[in-house]
Amino acid sequence: MAHVLVRSIVRPEKADAVLATLLDAGYPAVTKVSVFGRGKQRGLKVGDIHYDELPKELLMTVIPVDDKDFVVQRIMEAARTGSKGNFGDGKIFVSPVIEVYTVSTGKKED
Amino acid sequence: MAHVLVRSIVRPEKADAVLATLLDAGYPAVTKVSVFGRGKQRGLKVGDIHYDELPKELLMTVIPVDDKDFVVQRIMEAARTGSKGNFGDGKIFVSPVIEVYTVSTGKKED
Amino acid sequence: MAHVLVRSIVRPEKADAVLATLLDAGYPAVTKVSVFGRGKQRGLKVGDIHYDELPKELLMTVIPVDDKDFVVQRIMEAARTGSKGNFGDGKIFVSPVIEVYTVSTGKKED
């Protein structure tokens, strides 16, 4: 396995910071989609209102497996709120990728 | 492999039932996104109109691998229509997850 | 591993061609979601305006592993622009799938 998929679920207000961090670190290629998420806190209570699910951004980037630890750390630093983090800052899931192709060239990447 | 990703593609009108089932069963953490799906039936014909793709909800939850069979069964029971099910009730795909991180703490989960 | 997930990120104007190709080739089942993507070109510059991310369509299809090379080639042919392709035509990622279930029947697929 040469590549892994790093799937980050982050607060919408932190998505730009994560994208900037990835670009700075040399990982420009990212796919982004708006999602709704519910975590271990089972939503959010604000006064009398309970929100079952909260908007999040899902960021997906495929990277060489050897860069995994570095990239995960950079994403977590960019996505964390405050100095100690808070519930709802998000999750990162790393999954295997078998093959990567570039459509324009038709080539499989090493 | 300690965790797997369970990806459920269900009817929009069944998404809340699946979310409630997962919460009751002790799996609150879910990510939800609205998608369009086409199945083996190649869309839907209603009178003269053919719908190529139909709206679905994609629910993603990462769980311990040992809980996989239980969680998949509960999702299928909640997502099925009628007593015998119908075409278009959806699919569930289980994929490997290598690592899981919590952004707030920076910790990798066992 | 009997199945793989083929995840294609393509230009929105090419999504219908890819869907038609997959249907013709005997792979009707596809899930589609609108996303934003940034590639190695880090967005697009048109005159004075820089677009950080561009709209793409993410198409997901789960297929038998033995059909992988054929399906990937057909998707690339349908998604490519011009005779030689262009930056931004997209990427295809192939990932492992452990299990596939059909909600209506409750059955696991071979």
C-alpha distance from B82 to closest chain A C-alpha (Å)? 27
- pLDDT tens profile A53-73: 899 999 999 999 999 999 999
pTM for the structure as a whole:
0.94
Q: Would you write out chain B's pLDDT as a tens digit for each of its 110 residues?
A: 799 999 999 999 999 999 999 999 999 999 999 999 998 777 777 788 887 889 999 999 999 999 999 999 999 999 999 999 999 999 999 999 999 999 999 999 98
List of chain B residues whose C-beta atoms are within 8 Å of the C-beta of residue C29? 37-40, 91
Question: Complex ipTM, two decimals?
Answer: 0.94
Tell me how far apart the alpha carbons of residues C62 and C65 are, in angstroms, rounded to a whole number: 9
> Is it the case that residue C47 has pLDDT exceeding 90?
no
CA dihedral B8, B10, B14, B15 (to 10 degrees): 50
Predicted local distance difference test score (pLDDT) of residue C46 = 80
User: Tokens 């931004």 identify what position?
Assistant: C88
CA A82, A86, A90, A94 torsion-angle sign: positive
User: Tokens 């919590």 identify what position?
Assistant: B102
Residue in B8, B36, B62, B63 to test binding to C, most C beta-carbons within 10 Å? B36
Q: How confident is the model at residue C17 (pLDDT cuts 50, 70, 90)?
A: very high
Tell me how far apart the alpha carbons of residues B34 and B37 are, in angstroms, rounded to a whole number: 10
Which residues lie closer than 8 Å to B17 by C-beta, 6 or more apart?
Answer: B78, B79
Residue in A24, A103, A104 to test binding to C, most C beta-carbons within 10 Å? A103
- pLDDT tens profile A17-28: 999 999 999 999
List of chain B residues whose C-beta atoms are within 8 Å of the C-beta of residue A17? none
List of chain A residues whose C-beta atoms are within 8 Å of the C-beta of residue B59? none
Tell me which residues of chain A have a C-beta less than 8 Å from any C-beta of chain C: 3, 5, 19, 23, 28-33, 62, 95-106
Residue in A21, A59, A95 to test binding to B, most B beta-carbons within 10 Å? A95
Predicted local distance difference test score (pLDDT) of residue B46 = 79
- pLDDT tens profile C72-97: 999 999 999 999 999 999 999 999 99
Hey, which residues does A9 pair with through a beta bridge? A58, A91
- Stated as kind and residue range, the H or E segment containing A21 is helix A15-24
Nearest to C72 by CA among C21, C110, C32: C21
Q: What is the CA radius of gyration of chain C?
A: 16
Predicted local distance difference test score (pLDDT) of residue A55 = 96
Structure-token pair, residue B106:
């920076």
- pLDDT tens profile B53-67: 899 999 999 999 999
- pLDDT tens profile A64-102: 999 999 999 999 999 999 999 999 999 999 999 999 999
Tell me which residues of chain C have a C-beta less than 8 Å from any C-beta of chain A: 4, 8-10, 33-42, 52-53, 56, 58, 68, 72-73, 75-76, 79-81, 84-96
CA dihedral A36, A38, A39, A45 (to 10 degrees): 120
What are the backbone dihedrals phi and psi of residue A50, each rounded to the nearest 5 degrees, phi first? -110, 125
Q: What is the CA radius of gyration of chain A?
A: 16
Please, what CATH class does the domain formed by A3-96 belong to?
Answer: alpha beta
First to last CA, chain B: 10
Structure-token pair, residue A33:
């989609």
